[in-house]
Chains A and B, each alone.
Chain A
Amino acid sequence: MATPNTPLWEVFIRSRNGLAHKHVGSLHASDTTMALQAARDIYTRRGEGLSIWVVPSTAITASDPAEKGMMFEPAESKIYRHPTFYEVPEEVGHM
């Protein structure tokens, strides 16, 4: 019997409470239970985390790097979205 390739999962770990889960890498597993166990063995051998998320890689929709201009350039010209765009006299103090 030809076994299909084992599905790929993306692994996210919260290193300590108060911090967001962060992408740490990927792994192969047949189902969610095995994916979680493998994530623990592969990515938390030295106390790197308190919580793990595993997400099927196929569930992720990514933006196309070739379109990064169209996606992100509009924000680059909008410098008025940053606080330093506005002038506040020094006498007024920190704002």
Chain B
Amino acid sequence: MYTQALNTAETDDRGLEDAVKAAQFQARIDAEERIEPNDWMPAAYRKTLTRQISQHAHSEIVGMLPEGNWITRAPSLRRKAALLAKVQDECGHGLYLYAAAETLGTSREELVDAMLAGKAKYSSIFNYPTLTWADIGTIGWLVDGAAIMNQIPLCRCSYGPYARAMIRVCKEESFHQRQGYEIMLTLCRGSDEQKAMAQDALNRWWWPVLMMFGPPDATSQHSDTSTKWKIKRFSNDELRQKFVDATVPQAQYLGLEIPDRGMTQDAEGHWCYSEIDWTEFKQVLAGNGPCNRDRMAARRKSHDEGAWVREAAAAYAAKRAQRQTAQAAE
């Protein structure tokens, strides 16, 4: 999902750590206790979570770009206000998540630098372009819908600060999905051209959205420890299936066709989808998606152009602190 670049196996350095502490830690996890920042935790747990939460944060921040693209071109004031609020929410989500990641001991500055240097990843989905207004509807409906599917179980993640951030995020995300579906509904009830635009957006986003859930369970390398530590509660394929089952009827209501002609319903009512093109997924993760370079360039530009603001704010705070010290000394 937003942290799908966790594809390398964690080195197991628990041999170096106190085995008793590790056993006690696992017992707390098994008893559904939450782990808090100052509690003892295995180094690999800290490392996994720092990567996962910071990747999630980077995804929220980069996720502002494809939607920000349409703020000035929203078709009405109502849509514009909603899109502005949504993009502002994504920024807020990024900030809650950076704060949660920092409780593990890495500063936000370091986390952001790692992303800008290309060392940390963000979700593959944000490397696709938003070509028409229908893409904004589709992102809300499907991308945020998939995100909710992934984030609801994270509200029960074993790490307290992450779980609490997710609760706030999920509450706000619901508006995002509904506003997206409303955009789609309006287009589907509009002119033939508008409906065609909605269908075109669905055609382009469907497969990349399914890829958001990450590689199939058979090839996912990091799931075992994450499951044991109760960071992850459902497998990639389980969440993907839940999402597909929830989404098919929504598409039917819109009168749109999911671009997967082979789709059938099994005896239990689950929708079976065709093979996903994992080569495309790997290419996008490796930096070769349609917008990877654009997104990174936009983030770096924004960071560089904001440098003077950070410097000025720091200088002003330092000056004021100095003045206060001087006054106190008089």
Contacts and interface: CB of A to CB of B under 8 A. Distances in A.
Chain A bound to chain B = yes
Given A31-B317, A31-B320, A66-B40, A42 B310 contact: no
Interface string B158-170: 0000001100100
A6 B314 contact: yes
B315 to A, nearest CB: 9
Given A25-B99, A30-B316, A45-B89, 17 more contacts: A3-B311, A3-B314, A4-B314, A6-B109, A6-B313, A27-B99, A30-B310, A30-B313, A30-B314, A31-B320, A41-B92, A42-B95, A45-B88, A46-B172, A62-B38, A65-B38, A65-B39
B108 interface: yes
A45 B92 contact: yes
Interface of A: 1, 3-8, 25-31, 34, 41-42, 45-46, 62, 64-66
Most chain-B Cβ atoms within 10 A of its Cβ — which of A31, A34, A64? A31
Interface residues of B, number: 27
A5 B317 CA distance: 12
A79 B196 CA distance: 70
A66 B88 CA distance: 39
- Classify the interface of chain B: helix, strand, loop or mixed: helix
B324 to A, nearest CB: 11
5 contacts: A6-B313, A29-B313, A30-B310, A31-B316, A66-B40
Contacts of A65: 36, 38-40
Nearest to B98: A28
B250 interface: no
A66 B38 CA distance: 9
* Among all A-B residue pairs, the 7 with the closest Cβ atoms: A30-B313, A30-B317, A31-B317, A26-B99, A65-B39, A65-B38, A3-B314
B227 interface: no
A5 B313 CA distance: 11
Which of the listed residues A7, A26, A34, A62 has the most CB atoms from chain B within 10 Å of its own CB? A26
A94 B40 CA distance: 46
B107 interface: yes
Nearest to B100: A25
A7 B108 CA distance: 11
Contacts of A7: 317
A46 B38 CA distance: 31
Contacts of B135: none
A57 to B, nearest CB: 10
A61 B110 CA distance: 25
A5 B107 contact: yes
Contacts of B310: 3, 6, 30
Contacts of A66: 40
A42 B96 contact: yes
Contacts of B108: 5-6, 28
A8 B109 CA distance: 12
Contact of B96 (A8, A25, A46): A25
Nearest to B38: A65
A71 B95 CA distance: 33
In the complex, which of the residues A1, A4, A28 has the most CB atoms of chain B within 10 Å of its own CB atom? Answer: A28
Interface-central residue, A8, A30, A46, by most chain B CB under 10 Å: A30
A8 B102 contact: yes
A62 B103 CA distance: 14
A3 B39 CA distance: 31
Contacts of A4: 314
A68 to B, nearest CB: 9
Nearest to B88: A45
